[in-house]
Amino acid sequence: MCLFCKIINKEIPSEIILEDENFIAFHDINPKAPVHILAIPKSHVNSFNDVSSDMMAGMTIFIQNIAKEVDIDKSGYRVITNIGDNGGQEVKHLHFHVLGGAKLAWTHLSDSNPKAFL
């Protein structure tokens, strides 16, 4: 069973922000912003590559509700999902990073010099 499935099953503790029948949101253990929450589906999906449009419809509303719950909906925030090796995905269970609480930098898009590939 994957790490996030264990969090869903409460076999691994997490600080839950919001939960419903289909999704759960909890604080990232290694926050990269003052607010850093992970939103995941309860049924296992490996990555964004495999998610259905139906699930994304529910996830969209769920993420909007997270932003309201932690009061970053007006100040602004960023939603990221990493996919595969080049995307930097470490946990192979679909998750959306919800980052906010401060003006976010837009750096480190690549570990390499992007112009080197042009």
Residues forming the site for ligand AMP (CB under 6 A): 3, 12, 14, 28-30, 38, 82, 88-91
Sheet holding 35-41, edge to edge: 16-19, 23-27, 35-41, 96-100, 77-80
**67 versus 89: smaller Cβ distance to ligand AMP:** 89
Active site annotation includes 95 = yes
**12 versus 57: smaller Cβ distance to ligand AMP:** 12
Q: Of 27, 36, 93, 95, which one is the catalytic site residue?
A: 95
Residues 62 and 31: their CA atoms lie apart, in Å, by: 20
Among candidates 31, 95, 91, 34, which has minimal Cα distance to 63? 95
Among candidates 66, 59, 56, which has minimal Cα distance to 101? 66
CB of 38 to ligand AMP, least distance (A): 6
**33 versus 67: smaller Cβ distance to ligand AMP:** 33
Which active-site residues does the annotation give? 95
